[in-house]
Structures are given as structure tokens and as C-alpha cells.
Chain A
Amino acid sequence: MMLQAAPNPLMKVENLVVEYSVGGKTIHAVSDVSLEIARGETLGLVGESGCGKSTLGRAVLQLRQAVSGKVLFDGHDLTTLKGEALRQMRRRVQLIFQDPIASLNPRRRIGDIVAEPLVIAGVKDPDERRRRVAEVLSAVGLDPTLVSGRLPHEFSGGQCQRICIARSLVLNPEFVICDEPVSALDVSIRAQILNLLEEMKARYGLTLLFIAHDLAVVKAVSDRVAVMYLGRLCEVGPSEQLFARPAHPYTALLIEAIPVPDPDVRPTQSVPVGEPPSPIAPPSGCRFRTRCPRADARCASEVPELRLVATGQFAACHHPLI
């Protein structure tokens, strides 16, 4: 595999395939995806709704079983670990969801919600738990004495996301998957939470997989970015480079479609019509070919492999833009 991010990546996904079966039909949610994430790195994962981003994140965490492929965390294949060994490994990997309010139990107090992972992990000493909870709540900008006894509904969306972040950090994880952590938040709150995630990453030495559909949000926090379309990876590369010189036509389309808050930049009208096809019957060859302006016969018959197009940048396309 050429996708080497670093000699010793913390997370390595190899040829991962995840499918759902609905009404006798198979949804090809994640098809043959390989990725590496170096220690201390943030890898951004972007793509449109339904392209398989969350499924990939859940499969990495073993919340969804893969059909095939490996998920190597610090050298251990999580897909083959069971019982206590898996639980030990899972402590080191945490998840933050898109909908902060829905992911908090409405009947439990904040202090208990944040302490829950400690309880599950078997930390018996209540003082130790209280100390950890107070520490992470302070770290995310909440006053432990003021918030611990309150219920989730007393907090705004942004504050609930802070609480979720605190909960995900309480076990001192090494790797955190953030699945659209700011999509449900207002613009003015979004920036606060993105800054907070960056601070937490530095403070606790985290490695992040940051999932979002908003390219600008992803770029703000990511060292490298992976672009996904209909279950497959299209392109991976260093953030700045990828946005400055996309190689895959789909990456270029995504960049072009972003509304720019500048009236002098007239919206281009060149975005091709058309929508992503169904993941039940994805197109043969390159899955993007039904919307791609460069598609030809080869694109229909041959699946493009990810290959090097520039330093550190890989694209799965027969006719890349660079």
C-alpha cells in the first residue's frame, strides 16, 4: 500500500468493506477503503450525505462489523479482538457525534454522564472519578461546580457539545473520531467548538479522524484530507495542497460548489446537474463517472486505483486534473 502517512501510523485501515442489507438488497456503504493516520495527526474525511463517512467511522470503532478488511490500531487488528482485549483497546479510541443534545441521556446529571466511561472502565474510587470529571469539564470551558448537578436540557447545543467532548476525553484516549461535531451548531458557536477541539488535541496529544461534509470546516482543523464518494475514497492529500490543486474531478466539483461569502466571486454556473447514484447499484468502474465531465469508456470498465499524483497526494482517477 502506498498510502504511507508515517512509518508507524496509529490507525491503519486496510481494504475495509462495510455493507448494509435492506429489504434483501445490499447497500455498498464502504467499499475497499484504505487509510492511515499518523500519531498526532488530524485526518479530515469529507463527502456528501450517504457517501459512507459515518459508516467508516463506526466500523473503525467496531460499532459496525466490517464484511472484510482490517482496522489496525497501534498494530492490533481490532476486527479480530474480542472481549476484554477489545474493551481495553476501545478505551483508547473515542467518538463524538453530530447531534450533541441527542447523544446525552436527558435524565442523567452532567457529572454522571461525563463519569460514565470511567465507571464502565472500572475506575472504582469516586474521588478519582470526581477529579477526572472536574478536570475535563474545566478543560472544555465549563465550571464543574456549576454544571455537574444539572441536566442536559438546561444547556444549549454548543454547551452540550462541550459536555460530549469532555465525556470523550475522560478516559484519556489517544484517538478520537469526531463525526460532524459542529454540523448542528450555529456559525457563531461552531468556531468556538472547532477552536476547542484544536486546543484539546494539543493538550491531550490526540490523533483525530474528523468527519464533516463542509470542506472549509475540515480544512480548518486537518493536516490531511480524504475525500469520499459513494463508498470509495477519491483522493487523499495534505489539506492545503489538496484544496489548492485537487487531482480528482469530484474534489474539484466540491470545492467549486462552496458558496463563497464574497459578492465579487460570482457563483460559477458550471456545476454539472445530476446527483449521486444509489449505493445499492453503484456505477461500474469509477463510481463518479455518471457525474464526471471527464468520464470515458475506460472509466466505466475499470475501477481506478488510488495512485500518487503529487507529493503525499493520491487520487483514484484515470484522468486526474494534475
Chain B
Amino acid sequence: MSSALLSVENAVVDLPTPRGNLRAVDHVDLAVGAGRTLGIVGESGCGKTMLSRAVLQLLPKKARLSGRVMFDGQDLTTLSAEKLRKLRGRSLAVVFQDPMTSLNPVLTIGTQLIETIQEHLELDLAEARQRSIELLAAVGIPAPEQRLAQYPHQLSGGMRQRVAIAVALSCEPKLLIADEPTTALDVTIQAQILDLLAREQQRRHMAMIIITHDLGVVAGRTDEVAVMYAGRVVERAPTPALFKQMRMPYTEALLAALPKLDVAPHTPLPAISGRPPDPTRPLKGCSFSPRCRYSAGRCAFEKPQLCSAETPEHLYACFHPIAARVGA
């Protein structure tokens, strides 16, 4: 997709550790178009946060990145620190799991919003203030004018995340990356924040990447999903196609292992045995092979590549994909 707003091409992130090199992201290709939402799903340690940091060019100092990160026509890996900083506040925004990562505890909400707006947009103080109030109202904060004078610690977790979203949206970004934006929040608040993100994404025709470990979060709210395991994208498809027919055994197992409300109590869960491989000791074959119930033949010594079969948009990396259901 050359028309994509963001395309990550062959990204590899290596981190030196005392135990040896850790390949956090292993040859990942991704793309998101304007007005589209991509979900990246995976368990802790699978590389989803490192991938988003690679996009933002916010990797740890020791990390090495190769590949290209094309955003809005430029390769971010070649930009100067100064250019990147401008870009990040302006057209490339991020919301983290812990809103305090993006909020400054010693500044009032108003100061943070107004400063961000003034840094990137040519508005005077009164205009920037007015815009801050509008933004806080847009993200569902009651009495927004009074909130400007408050500090982050005076707000609840859900309110803080709303403020962090307001800050992220303040300069009308083209792409918003939300890294586990609701994991630290309660279910009722989680639903409100996800609704808010979806609404703003559509209203602004913004591209959005939602990173989560919860397949439930991406199901109703993304156009496309990429499933990561051990640093790689192992399955990628338009969201409805993915949920209709998962081809990669890991994706299927992940969904099956989730407790579900429509299942009777005390039904044993189809658990995935074992655990993900040690990222400093990469496996020769398919990373999922020690846990995969379909593993056979070359799974143990050859890496399956991500490719498409029936439809060009549905990609998976597996030698023995789950058969397409007849009549599905």
C-alpha cells in the first residue's frame, strides 16, 4: 500500500542485554491509511510496544533499528531529532497505558494543553485557552474551564486518560498511537475511553493504531488487526475476516483461551500449554511450534513466512494453517 499514511517496512529492533541480543521486533511490515484503525494484538513481551516506539522513534538508546518507517512521505529513521520532536507533538501523537507518562505532574492541565497547542500551532493565549476548553469538553470532562487549573493528581485515572487524549489530539494529529490505552482502567471506564477514541478518530479522519493484549478491544473497533508473537507479525487481516476465519493457530488459541460470558461455569478453558520462547534464544523454526497443537514436519526447523493465500489482505505465517471452514 503505497498510499498509506504510515508504512513500516522490514523493521527489526535489536536490544543488547546481559543474556545476549534480544530481537524485540523481527522483520515487521505494517501500513495504516488515513482514517483507518489498525489493532496490534499480542501478549506481554511480544514486541508490540517496541514496534510502536520504533514508529515514534522513541526507542531506548541502546536499541538498534533497521528498516524504514515511512510517515506522510518521509522516512522517520533519517530525520533529525529536532524535526522528529516537531512531528511528534504535531502530526504524530501517542497515548500511553499510564496517562502519567505523558502528563507532567507539576503543571496544571491548562498549562500543559495550552503549551502544547502554542508550541505547534500559531494561536495566541486566549485562542489556545479556548481551544483547550473545547478539547476537554470533547473528551467528556465535566466543567472543563475549572479543570484547567487542576493538577493531574487531582483527577481519577479515567479522567487523566481523557486529559492525555485531549493533549494528544490538541494539534490535530494525522496518526494517533494508543498503547494499551485502557489496560489500567476499569471496564466501565474502558468502554467510555474506547468510544471516545473511536469517535474522535472518525470525526478527524485520523489514522489510529490501538495496541492491546485483549482481542475483545480490537474486535469491534478496528479495520485491520495484526497479531504479534515473539517479535513477528504472525497473522494480519481485515478485522471481520480475521474473526470469521483465523488461520494462524496462535490467534485461534489466544481467542479460545479467553474466558467467555456465554460459557457455563466450571467448563475447563482450552489453555495454551507452555509459554512464549525466551527472546534472547530465538527458535530455529516457528516460534509457536513448542506450544502448537498442529506442529509437524518443518515447523520445528524452518520459519514460516507471512504470506497471503485465498485473499490478498489476509496474511499468516504458518505451514499448516487452520483449514477454511466449509460454508463459513
Contacts and interface: CB of A to CB of B under 8 A. Distances in A.
Q: Say if A and B assemble together.
A: yes
Interface of A: 48-49, 156, 158, 186-192, 194-195, 198, 213-217, 219-223, 239-240, 243, 253-267, 269, 271, 273, 275
Contact of B258 (A192, A195, A216, A271): A216
B149 interface: no
Contact of B275 (A188, A215, A265): A188
B187 A258 contact: yes
Given A156-B275, A158-B275, A188-B43, A220 B265 contact: yes
Nearest to A265: B220
A283 B264 CA distance: 36
B43 to A, nearest CB: 4
Given A263-B240, A271-B195, A221 B266 contact: yes
Contacts of A191: 257-259, 269-272
Contact of B220 (A220, A253, A259): A259
Nearest to B269: A191
A46 to B, nearest CB: 10
Given A188-B275, A258-B261, A259-B194, A48 B186 contact: yes
B191 A257 contact: yes
B265 A189 contact: no
B192 A215 contact: no
Interface in B200-257: 213-217, 219-221, 239-240, 243, 253-255, 257
Interface of B: 43-44, 140, 156-159, 186-192, 194-195, 213-217, 219-221, 239-240, 243, 253-255, 257-261, 263-273, 275-276, 291
Contacts of B269: 191, 194-195, 220
Given A48-B188, A273-B192, A263 B265 contact: no
18 contacts: A48-B187, A186-B44, A191-B258, A191-B270, A192-B271, A198-B266, A215-B187, A216-B258, A220-B259, A220-B265, A222-B265, A223-B265, A257-B190, A258-B187, A259-B220, A261-B255, A262-B220, A275-B158
B275 A260 contact: no
Given A213-B187, A259-B214, A187 B194 contact: no
Nearest to A238: B265
A4 B247 CA distance: 49
Nearest 5 CB-CB pairs, A to B?
A259-B216, A191-B271, A191-B269, A220-B259, A48-B186
A259 B240 CA distance: 15
Given A187-B214, A194-B269, A264-B243, 20 more contacts: A158-B275, A187-B43, A188-B254, A191-B258, A215-B261, A216-B258, A216-B261, A221-B265, A240-B265, A254-B188, A259-B191, A260-B216, A261-B216, A263-B240, A265-B220, A267-B220, A269-B195, A271-B188, A271-B195, A273-B140
Nearest to A216: B259
A213 B184 CA distance: 12
Given A192-B273, A259-B190, A240 B216 contact: no
Given A261-B215, A269-B195, A239 B265 contact: yes
B191 A271 contact: yes
B261 A267 contact: no
* Residue of A190, A243, A265, A275 most packed against chain B (CB within 10 A): A275
A181 to B, nearest CB: 13
Contacts of A256: 191
A105 to B, nearest CB: 23
Given A259-B191, A262-B219, A267-B194, A194 B214 contact: no
A275 B266 contact: no
A257 B270 CA distance: 24
